[in-house]
Amino acid sequence: MNPLTFPSRPVLKRFPTESAAFSLVEVTFALGVAAFSLITLLGVLAVGLKTQQASIQQTTGNQIIATIFTSLRADVRLPPGLESKVCGDDPGPCAWGELHGKWLAGAAPQTLYFTNEGNQTGTVNGTPPADAVFRAVLTYRFPPSDTTSLANITVTWPAQVDPAQGGVPAGSVTSLSAINR
């Protein structure tokens, strides 16, 4: 080997005359499969959002029932003259004091209205206020016994639909409350 000679250059490989790529038919088929999958996912997304909204409304309805139930239990224990303290320092409309003594009044249903956040709004037994989303109907079982009083609590939404007038609400939750005195 002669030290003055340079090694030969590596031989460059050439690509074959046919290149390896996807055909137009394969690309179209892949795009069709992807589009079908995306349309299916969008359909499932809409159903999921509707289910989530219904779940939120049912949860709020159950929280309203729990609030009413708690107030009814507290109502039994309030000394006379303290009915106005039921709502605490809440400056908004509060009709919980009007529930005091309703156990003995009979089985007349009582309607309360609530906002989307579950706060009581507007008047009792009247036209739903503009911001009302939920309608709670309390029906007291008559006559109460010496130790236990019963009340049906039904929360429906939207508040503007009155089931007593034949309207069909979008959803509802119902509970039977037993208050042990």
Q: Which of 4-18, 30-44, 164-178 has the lowest mean pLDDT?
A: 4-18
pLDDT band at 36 (very low <50, low <70, confident <90, very high): very high
Sequence-ordered alpha helix ranges (H) in the chain: 24-77
Could you tell me the sign of the dihedral formed by the alpha carbons of 55, 61, 64, 65, in that order? negative
Answer whether residue 8 is part of any domain.
no
Answer whether residue 140 is part of any domain.
yes
Answer whether residue 164 is part of any domain.
yes
The per-residue pLDDT for range 51-80, each reduced to its tens digit, is 999 999 999 999 999 988 887 776 554 445
Number of domains in the chain: 1
Answer whether residue 32 is part of any domain.
no
Q: Which of 2-6, 59-63, 130-134 has the highest mean pLDDT?
A: 59-63
Answer whether residue 19 is part of any domain.
no
Q: Quick check: helix, strand or coil at residue 164?
A: helix
Q: What is the dihedral of CA 159, 163, 164, 165, to 10 degrees?
A: 90
What is the reported pLDDT for 180?
A: 66
pLDDT band at 13 (very low <50, low <70, confident <90, very high): low
Answer whether residue 96 is part of any domain.
yes
Q: What is the CA radius of gyration of the chain?
A: 34
Specify the amino acid at residue 89. D
Beta carbons of 121 and 113 less than 8 angstroms apart? yes
What is the reported pLDDT for 60?
A: 93
The per-residue pLDDT for range 109-120, each reduced to its tens digit, is 788 899 988 888
Per DSSP, the residues of 124-135 read SSSSPPTT--EE
Which of the 8 DSSP states describes residue 122? Answer: S
Mean pLDDT of 105-110: 62
Answer whether residue 30 is part of any domain.
no
Sequence-distant (6+) residues with CB within 8 A of 178 are 148, 149, 150
> Which residue range is the domain that position 67 belongs to?
41-180
Answer whether residue 59 is part of any domain.
yes
Place of tokens 């590596």: 10
Beta carbons of 118 and 64 less than 8 angstroms apart? yes
